[in-house]
Chain A
């Protein structure tokens, strides 16, 4: 049994699994159920001046029979009065003193407003604050959420206002709807943030109904862009976490969010530099009970790797995540087809033929059976065939001896000396 507890920017949590701010953390009833199921913490549904929500709010991408490959919403921050939320936070904290409650906050970019709300939530005993600069719809039109999250100066300024009043750690939640997320990460740390969390949702339109020509979802025939999340956004979130983690001028703790649904996703985010984790869509899809396998699976994984603490995972893959110019140009891999595993769907052949480098040959072997072979001298090692292959182990990418390693950067440096 490994130790799953984390220390995230001074906030101690029994495990790294927190619910992200969203529908699952909308009320005390839900957060208490989540804590009973095993979640280590919850970031409360964003507090601010109450808003009015539209009905019909969500939609999802179902892909080839799998439901919710991606998820989209046009919901705003909490629509419940602040005093009700505060009362339920206090009550939940009292019942579950060991679990972490973070207040997610969003107010207008005015210094007094930030001071006021920070005091109110700290008075009811939250363990930390998360500033929501990420919501891409609705709130942005009012100058909040991603509208302020896309402007580094506003991020820095508002973070510093929150910090002026805060006694608990301040986490800044970043929007992915920006070209370079490290710019706003940097602004947050300049503003005094104790940690950053990312990602919030990505601008998206789920689809169009081909009969009515309405957007999906639609509100009385009209739609608007929403925020995308769920399994489909994980690669984007992971790269953004990695980009922030590998910034050499900052070692600000990161709470990883975006498409986390299993202990495997969790371990990957931690290896890429996240100390804490947040989950929204997966809990909405399957319920709070998913945390049981997240805890159990992570525990068994750590045991298997001989690691005593989950903190030993944090950042272990960050040094391996580099600029393209640091990659070895002379490294070679080629595809190899294992005849005994191959089921002869010929997907690799057509993928290579039309989408890569025309080096997988179809032929008839000496027993008259169809077979496939890679012409290794022409294979560029792109992986496409092994990606489209439906059978595990039928195509291996084999390492070939190459010349002395040399990266692009080394090559340029060498050329410059000539």
Chain B
């Protein structure tokens, strides 16, 4: 990354950080794969991609076959090749971890799906129409994955998406230097090519009523994900220069780069993966100095180790055990300073981590021009209530097998059911849940015929 000084050279900083494997690297890597039987990598993948099979196909030169194996198991296979925490999943399980180095599964997956993107070969066909209709609310990985599988089963699928483009956080949320938007849009296209109708700029609950969906379709899948960052509830939150991480990243991802941040001092509140994404984006936009402000310590942060390492490489500073108390204006309605208080760790709390407590009389000030809040995401509680679904603080309750909600006609998958210690919010998990939801709908509808 270089320090940008003009708007023109900002863009370069948003090129993919990791390069595609070169042809020789691909051949060396596929030849290293042992082609294990009952392979641990396949079991570690939430969508159970048959990893040895697709690697063997790359080795034999059957690129279409390789892409098919990946995309069949995971409709977001191209995205996941780039954004999955592979150290925690497939690559972490590779048997070569002990003997030498794990196979670069993510990069090989990327190589195979790149081939598919370049060659425009149709990989899947829609199923024979079965006369049933399904509405899907939200076109993120969970919704798209359900849509694709349902289309392959023969359902007539309509997806409603409130944004201008489909793809959910793959299109709008994951930073472009890890996942270019074009990748997500290609996956959207794959789903559309099976006859799935995606109505963008259409918000359910506003542009289309909940009752309409309930009356007009045989089943509904709720895959709306999560919403914006919650309010911190401290003074000065509405000042200019105080941003929501989700909205901030969305602008960057959608190509609205600004030179407003060049040379600025920025603070990011939070230390999860989204906070790191916001911080590294700020750095790439030319911020002179970016601090991550977190009320707990390094040990409690929720960001993946590789994300943390990436942030440190980018020169991000970390302020542990620090909590903002208020944002102070420059007299013109713009943030200029942040009042903070030091924290210490107390007893273990409900999240299983030590509870941060304020240190008395430890207030201090930081001079800053930009604040980005990244302290989680709020839920679409009112929409969930409009559907009348049982939920726990906006986390929709489902049958873990069938993804059916308290209303048997409504299913839910993805971030909308994520929470309370049930796994990680990951694209790959959302994709798998979408797939399973589709399978459950297929099974239940067929049993009713």
Contacts and interface: CB of A to CB of B under 8 A. Distances in A.
Given A390-B24, A391-B24, A392-B23, A287 B37 contact: yes
Contacts of A292: 53
Contacts of A263: 60, 62
A297 interface: yes
B61 interface: yes
A296 B57 contact: yes
A297 B37 CA distance: 20
A289 B56 CA distance: 11
Interface residues of B, number: 15
A300 B57 CA distance: 11
A262 interface: yes
A33 interface: no
Contacts of A375: none
A264 B65 contact: no
A293 B53 contact: yes
B120 to A, nearest CB: 14
A297 B35 contact: no
A222 interface: no
Nearest to B100: A65
Contacts of A287: 37
Given A263-B60, A293-B53, A286 B65 contact: no
Interface in B43-101: 53, 56-57, 59-62, 64-65, 68
B65 A66 contact: no
A300 B60 contact: no
Contacts of A66: 31
A327 B60 CA distance: 31
A390 B28 CA distance: 11
B30 to A, nearest CB: 12
Nearest to A263: B60
B62 A300 contact: yes
A293 B57 contact: yes
Contact of A264 (B37, B61, B64): B61
A392 B31 CA distance: 16
Given A264-B60, A286-B35, A296 B24 contact: no
B57 A297 contact: yes
B65 A296 contact: yes
Interface string B22-41: 01100000010001010000
A290 B52 CA distance: 11
Contacts of B68: 296
A293 B62 contact: yes
Contacts of B31: 66
Given A66-B31, A286-B35, A287-B37, A293 B60 contact: yes
A293 B35 CA distance: 13
Contacts of A300: 62, 64-65
A263, A297, A391: residue with the most chain B Cβ atoms closer than 10 Å: A297
Query: Interface majority SS on A: helix, strand, loop or mixed?
Result: helix
Contacts of A390: 24
Contacts of B24: 390-392
Contacts of B59: 262
A66 B31 CA distance: 8
Contacts of A289: 37, 53
Interface string B402-417: 0000000000000000
A201 B56 CA distance: 26
A293 B57 CA distance: 6
Interface string A381-416: 000000000111000000000000000000000000
A392 B61 CA distance: 15
A263, A264, A296: residue with the most chain B Cβ atoms closer than 10 Å: A296
A271 to B, nearest CB: 15
Contacts of B60: 262-264, 293, 297
Nearest to A290: B56
B56 A293 contact: yes
Interface in B13-27: 23-24
A333 to B, nearest CB: 23
Contacts of A296: 57, 62, 65, 68
Nearest to A390: B24
Interface string A292-318: 110011001100000000000000000
A392 B26 CA distance: 12
A210 to B, nearest CB: 25
Contacts of B37: 287, 289
A297 B64 CA distance: 8
Interface string A251-271: 000000000001110000000
A390 B23 CA distance: 11
Nearest to B32: A65
Contacts of A262: 59-60
Nearest to B31: A66
Nearest to B36: A286
B53 to A, nearest CB: 7
Nearest to B56: A293
Nearest to B62: A297
Interface string B204-237: 0000000000000000000000000000000000
A391 B62 CA distance: 21
Nearest to B66: A293
A392 B65 CA distance: 23
B381 to A, nearest CB: 47
B35, B61, B65: residue with the most chain A Cβ atoms closer than 10 Å: B65
A203 B379 CA distance: 72
A407 to B, nearest CB: 34
A156 to B, nearest CB: 39
B61 A293 contact: no
Contacts of B65: 293, 296-297, 300
Nearest to B54: A293
Contacts of B35: 286
B337 to A, nearest CB: 53
Contacts of A301: 62
A119 B60 CA distance: 42
A263 B62 CA distance: 9
B23, B31, B59, B64: residue with the most chain A Cβ atoms closer than 10 Å: B64
A297 B53 contact: no
B396 to A, nearest CB: 39
Interface in A196-237: none
Nearest to B35: A286
A198 to B, nearest CB: 24
Nearest to A295: B65
A264 B63 CA distance: 13
A390 B57 CA distance: 22
B365 to A, nearest CB: 54
A292 B69 CA distance: 11
Contacts of A297: 57, 60-62, 65
Interface string A52-85: 0000000000000010000000000000000000
Q: Sort A-B residue pairs by CB-CB distance and give the 4 closest, nearest first.
A: A297-B62, A262-B60, A296-B65, A300-B64
30 contacts: A262-B60, A263-B62, A264-B60, A264-B61, A286-B35, A287-B37, A289-B37, A289-B53, A290-B56, A292-B53, A293-B53, A293-B56, A293-B57, A293-B62, A293-B65, A296-B57, A296-B62, A296-B65, A296-B68, A297-B57, A297-B60, A297-B61, A297-B65, A300-B62, A300-B64, A300-B65, A301-B62, A390-B24, A391-B24, A392-B24
Given A292-B53, A300-B64, 16 more contacts: A66-B31, A263-B62, A286-B35, A287-B37, A290-B56, A293-B53, A293-B60, A296-B57, A296-B62, A296-B68, A297-B60, A297-B61, A300-B62, A390-B24, A391-B24, A392-B23
